[in-house]
Amino acid sequence: MEALVAIAIGVLTAVGLYLTLRLRTFPVILGLTMLSYAVNIFLFTSGRLTQNRAPIIGTGETYADPLPQALVLTAIVISFGMTAVIMIMAIGGFLESGHDRVNMAEGNDEAAEDRA
Amino acid sequence: MSLALIAALPFLGALLPGLMIRAGRDACAAMTGSVTLLALVLLGLHAPAVLSGEVVQTRIEWLPALGLNATFFLDGLGLLFAGLILGIGLLIILYARFYLAKSDPMGQFYTYLMLFQGAMVGIVLSDNILLLLIFWELTSLSSFLLIGYWKHLPEGRQGARMALAVTGGGGLAMIAGMLILGNIAGSYDLTVILQHKDAIQASDWYLPALILILLGAFTKSAQFPFHFWLPHAMAAPTPVSAYLHSATMVKAGLFLMARMWPVLAGTPEWFWIVSTAGLVTMVMAAKIAFFKDDLKALLAFSTVSHLGLITMLLGFGTKAAATVAVFHIINHATFKAALFMTAGIVDHEAHTRDLKRLGGLRTLMPITFGIALLASLSMAGIPPLNGFLSKELMLEEAAHTTWITPWAMGVLATIGALFSVAYSFRFLAHGFLGPVRSDYPHKPHDPGPALWGAPAALALLVVVIGLFPMASVAWLVNAAASAVTGEAVAVKIYHWHGLEAVALWMSIAAVGGGLAMLGAYPRLRAIWDAAPRPEAKHIFDGIIGSLAATARASNDALHNSSLSRAIAVAVLAIAGAAALAFSGGMHLPGSRDLMPVPPLVAVIWAVMLLAAVAVPFLHRERVVALILVGVVGLLIAPFFVLMSAPDLALTQLSVEVVTILLMLLALNFLPKTTPVESPASRRLFDAGIAGIAGTGIGWLAWEMMTRTAAFEPISHFHLAQSKPGAGGTNVVNTILVDFRGYDTFGEIIVLGIAALAIYALSENLLRSPAVTRRLGLMRPEREAGDRHPMMLVVSTRLLLPMAMMVGVYIYLRGHNMPGGGFVSGLVFAIAYLMQYMASGYGWSHARQRYDHHVLIGWGVLIATLSGAGAWLFGLPFLTSGFEYVHLWPLEEFELATAAIFDLGVFLCVLGAVLLALASLSRLALRAGEVVNTRAYDIENPGEAR
């Protein structure tokens, strides 16, 4: 079981990173979503894997580690907030500039002109 | 406490002008002045104790572990400076009331002024050097605001920037120097440091610390070669120049040198650096002042020169010289502030400060002339005024100090005094004497007593101190000089030292030479104008420019605005560092028992992996990619169920639904496909990077999971205390709302801020004409036949109350069973979103009674109140109410406090999710989506189009 989880974490990370290396905003955001899946599972497994030992007092002798679960729970909610913010930024970028590239075009660097 | 109050009063007072300005300018000035007066009175109450030799102290522990405490102390030196700052501050507030024009925002001016005053008082009262450094930097910042007060003037902005760069930079150096001193002495308390003279002067770090601290003091007090910023800071309004650049801020450097005098002075290094810098500054600045035509520029260079004089005296390192330095600080503050205010009056009345356009003001402005006459004669060192007394003493000290040769110091000091006489007389002669002219920009006459009152009071002091030095200031000089030198000082100030006193002859030579110089002014001026001089501003601008260019070049080289490259570099660097760290350490093979694979999990795993691996190949069709990502996300939920994490499963499921909805909505405004841009080699390279990182993370996870933790997990505490301590059996929930309630509190605020940021961003987009145009063009090419199908509408209506009931149920059971505010909020959000989907945003929104912002606000407020409720019981913020369960009648309340907090979480999550999605929907409305008037389209499809 541990091997399966480790492989899943690895694959999700790799796919997520590959997508974040793309040149358009939407794949980058999808990639970040995939990465946050991987990170959340990774954090969760730091409590080690257990079966049928939900941390509800009175349901058994020993329990799964509740602390990583609590951390991951908030992380899931926050990653939604983060995704929503970068999504509106991506939309804004596209609507303002007419393209959805993540890299600034070389030679026609508006920000550089502003600085000058 | 009262010392801390004195330092805090101006800061509190800084809040008042903004409020009081609505009641008029007089009320505003009176209010500001009364705060300063109150601080002055409080200071005065301590004066008898300080004068009798006591040191008043106040100590407030803040971060004792770091040695950072709010400790204040008041000795003679502190009393002198605090008195100057508050006393002259009071006069400046009065003067500024009538100096500023109607169009100048006066509330702002007084706020800045009070901030500055508080920072200055803080410097002179601080006992802790870290605290002192904070106040020190605050003076740089507040003076930046004051110098740049007239924002429309480019000189004002440039002068403010230069002052900030120079004094702020010096302050940074000083921080390092002070920390070194603190380390040598083993304490950050000044009173302790001042007792470690031998340890500090014997240390190898003495010279670096000395240079760093002097950098701070010299930049602040405009000593050569950092003198150039002060004349440029004269772009400030005159009250600021009079206050900051003559009486107080520029003396902060002198204060620091005087304060550190007991531990730093007395060494050859101190003597050579400090007295040389002071001497050079004094002579050079006095010479420049003589040739300045702008009244304020003349006074500015004269100030630099006098600061140099005091620095030089401190540099001598003798008790007598330090006493003279203290005396001259008082005298200079009185005559120079009066002169600046006089220059301001001339500017105010004649509309010019140019000596070439002035002259003859003696008959037109007799009162102003009288004040200027007394103050500038004092500046020139003419008996019996106070400037004469301290200048005589200074010349006496200089004459008996050996600097390179026995006579060099005396000669140069006489030359400095000579220049000083020359520019003082030129100020009078070219400004006030001579015939009345007919071409002033504005016909000058004396202003009302409100404007000349403040300088007149100072001119009176000039005379009183000059005539009766022993009665008027000797006590203050004694107290301050005793504090500086650490020994009891009993100063004796005379007007007449006898014919054998060398200072008398030096004085006579200076006055004679100065008058001769004034007489030869036209010829000297021609030589001066012909001689080439380095312009400090150009040099400064060049240095700043080249620094900025270097920074930009290195920044451009490191960062070429390519996100992909930055990510690739970062990932490779992290992977490399991790590999290095892992290969360098030692580790044992994992010993933990592996878990068997349940068949169901194997199936889920295979489907999830398949979906994940398919994404890179199919991601150009964005809808397909989104669905695949959704599949992956949803399948993580059953994984959590099987791995004993029901709460996570619920959260993951509901968040996933909301996320996919958000992305689908967003895809409306983005291209639906991703073009092929990068070549195959680049894609292969990216895949390689991703593969390396994925392998590394997967392997790390494997290594972690196959081992037991090296330390006992802290969650034993949570498991044991969940029921007795927090009153709930669901440990994940009790951690969220009780044990780690503060984290959750912060998190819901972050979530609320994120949602508000989304709202603000979309609002901004809707205002941009380019965006509106583009949205208008974005008509959907193809629409579904039924935009609001009846089946969907009816079923979501039916589902709404059921979903809400589920939500309430999940919320209520949360403390003991899987569930809670997070999940419940998401369930509610989904129930609402279904209505949006079925009947359209516009239709649903029109029927919604509360704004989403309000939900977020109430959520945070309820969570805050439930946490603050613990204060009523004298307990820390967010203490759970379970403790009071057995006390009647609180039994009903005990379960409530955690549940109320969870209610706040619920409302905040609900509001945030809805606000985020609603913001996107508002863009859709702008894009031309028609608001339907009916819930569904079946009756009259034409209406919805």
* Mean pLDDT on B579-598: 84
B766 with B833, same domain: the answer is yes
Chain A touched by B467 (CB under 8 Å): no
- Of the residues B565, B607, B706, B732, the best mutation for testing chain A's interface (the one with the most A CB atoms within 10 Å of its CB) is B732
* Overall size of chain A counted in residues: 116
* Mean pLDDT on B455-474: 91
Chain A touched by B918 (CB under 8 Å): no
- Taking only the tens place, the pLDDT of each residue in B254-264 is 999 999 999 99
Looking at the domain assignment, is residue B13 inside a domain?
Answer: no
Percent of chain B with pLDDT over 90: 44
Looking at the domain assignment, is residue B201 inside a domain?
Answer: no
Residue B785: count other Cβ atoms within 10 Å of its Cβ.
Answer: 7
Q: A19: which residues sit within 8 A by CB, 6+ positions away?
A: A27, A28, A30, A31, A34, B615, B616, B619
Statement: residue B585 has pLDDT above 90: no
Looking at the domain assignment, is residue B154 inside a domain?
Answer: no
Range of the domain at B322: 267-533
Statement: residue B635 has pLDDT above 90: yes
B475 with B351, same domain: the answer is yes
pLDDT band at B1 (very low <50, low <70, confident <90, very high): low
Binary contact (B715, A67; C-beta < 8 A)? yes
> % helix / strand / coil in chain A, to the nearest 5?
65, 5, 30
Identify the three-state secondary structure at position B356: coil
Q: What is the mean pLDDT of each run of 10 residues along chain A (116 residues)?
A: 93 95 92 95 91 85 90 92 92 88 63 40
What integer pLDDT is reported at residue A112 of this predicted model?
Answer: 41
Residue A115's closest chain B neighbor by CA?
Answer: B552
Binary contact (B639, A33; C-beta < 8 A)? no
B751 with B688, same domain: the answer is no
Contact residues, chain A, for B730 at CB < 8 Å: 55-57
Q: How far apart are CA B635 and CA B638, in angstroms?
A: 6
Chain A touched by B773 (CB under 8 Å): no
Calculate the alpha carbon distances from B904 to B401, B506, B659, B812, B909 in Å. 75, 80, 22, 13, 9
Query: Which of the residue ranges B131-140, B262-271, B586-595, B615-624 would you say has the lowest mean pLDDT?
Result: B586-595
B761 with B678, same domain: the answer is no
Q: How far apart are CA B174 and CA B939, in angstroms?
A: 79
Contact residues, chain B, for A90 at CB < 8 Å: 666, 670
Q: B247: which residues sit within 8 A by CB, 6+ positions away?
A: B84, B85, B88, B333, B336, B337
What integer pLDDT is reported at residue B60 of this predicted model?
Answer: 82
Binary contact (A69, B648; C-beta < 8 A)? yes
Looking at the domain assignment, is residue B334 inside a domain?
Answer: yes
Looking at the domain assignment, is residue A54 inside a domain?
Answer: no
Q: Structural domain tally of chain A? A: 1
Statement: residue B528 has pLDDT above 90: no
Looking at the domain assignment, is residue B905 inside a domain?
Answer: yes
Statement: residue B437 has pLDDT above 50: yes
Statement: residue B696 has pLDDT above 90: yes
B702 with B733, same domain: the answer is no
Statement: residue B852 has pLDDT above 80: yes
B18, B29, B23: which is closest to B91 by C-alpha? B29
B649 with B681, same domain: the answer is yes
B779 with B699, same domain: the answer is no
pLDDT band at B891 (very low <50, low <70, confident <90, very high): very low
- Of the residues B731, B762, B815, the best mutation for testing chain A's interface (the one with the most A CB atoms within 10 Å of its CB) is B731
- Taking only the tens place, the pLDDT of each residue in B788-826 is 788 888 999 999 999 999 999 898 888 888 888 999 999
Binary contact (A21, B622; C-beta < 8 A)? no
B428 with B398, same domain: the answer is yes
- Taking only the tens place, the pLDDT of each residue in B698-729 is 999 998 999 888 888 888 899 988 888 777 88
Annotate B604-619 with b (16+ C-beta within 10 A) or e (fewer).
Answer: bbeebbebbebbbeeb
Chain B touched by A84 (CB under 8 Å): yes
Report residue B907 as tokens.
Answer: 């409302």
B843, B840, B823, B623: which is closest to B732 by C-alpha? B823
- Taking only the tens place, the pLDDT of each residue in B316-345 is 989 999 999 999 999 999 999 999 999 999
Q: How far apart are CA A83 and CA A26, in angstroms?
A: 11
Looking at the domain assignment, is residue B913 inside a domain?
Answer: yes
- Taking only the tens place, the pLDDT of each residue in B272-293 is 999 999 999 999 999 999 999 9
Looking at the domain assignment, is residue A109 inside a domain?
Answer: no
What integer pLDDT is reported at residue B936 of this predicted model?
Answer: 72
Binary contact (B563, A103; C-beta < 8 A)? yes
Query: Which of the residue ranges B247-251, B780-784, B905-909 would you say has the lowest mean pLDDT?
Result: B780-784
Binary contact (A45, B705; C-beta < 8 A)? yes
What integer pLDDT is reported at residue B616 of this predicted model?
Answer: 92
Q: B368: which residues sit within 8 A by CB, 6+ positions away?
A: B342, B345, B346, B349, B361, B446, B447, B452
pLDDT band at B456 (very low <50, low <70, confident <90, very high): very high
Query: Which of the residue ranges A2-11, B451-460, B511-520, B579-588 would you say has the lowest mean pLDDT?
Result: B579-588
Chain A touched by B115 (CB under 8 Å): no
* Mean pLDDT on B534-556: 88
Q: Torsion angle of alpha carbons B201, B207, B208, B210, nearest 10°? A: 80
Q: How far apart are CA B227 and CA B536, in angstroms?
A: 9
Binary contact (A66, B731; C-beta < 8 A)? yes
Contact residues, chain B, for A45 at CB < 8 Å: 701, 704-705
pLDDT band at B867 (very low <50, low <70, confident <90, very high): confident
Report which residue type is found at B52. S
B635 with B689, same domain: the answer is yes
Chain A touched by B839 (CB under 8 Å): no
Range of the domain at A79: 2-49+64-104
- Taking only the tens place, the pLDDT of each residue in B677-688 is 888 999 999 999
Q: How far apart are CA B158 and CA B164, in angstroms?
A: 10
Looking at the domain assignment, is residue A22 inside a domain?
Answer: yes
B391 with B443, same domain: the answer is yes
Looking at the domain assignment, is residue A34 inside a domain?
Answer: yes
What integer pLDDT is reported at residue B563 of this predicted model?
Answer: 85
Binary contact (B594, A28; C-beta < 8 A)? no
The ipTM of this complex is: 0.92
Report residue B376 as tokens.
Answer: 């500038």
Asked if residues B274 and B253 have their Cβ atoms less than 8 Å apart, the reply is no
Looking at the domain assignment, is residue A115 inside a domain?
Answer: no
Looking at the domain assignment, is residue A87 inside a domain?
Answer: yes
Identify the three-state secondary structure at position B87: helix
CATH of the domain at A18: 1.10.287.3510
Q: Chain A: nearest CA to B666, how far in angstroms?
A: 7
Calculate the alpha carbon distances from B555 to A82, B552, B784 in Å. 27, 5, 50
Which chain B residues in 660-689 lie under 8 Å from chain A, judged by CB atoms? 662-663, 666-667, 669-671, 674-675, 677-678, 686-687, 689
Looking at the domain assignment, is residue A76 inside a domain?
Answer: yes
Q: Chain B: nearest CA to A2, how far in angstroms?
A: 7
What integer pLDDT is reported at residue A36 of this predicted model?
Answer: 95
Residue A7's closest chain B neighbor by CA?
Answer: B698
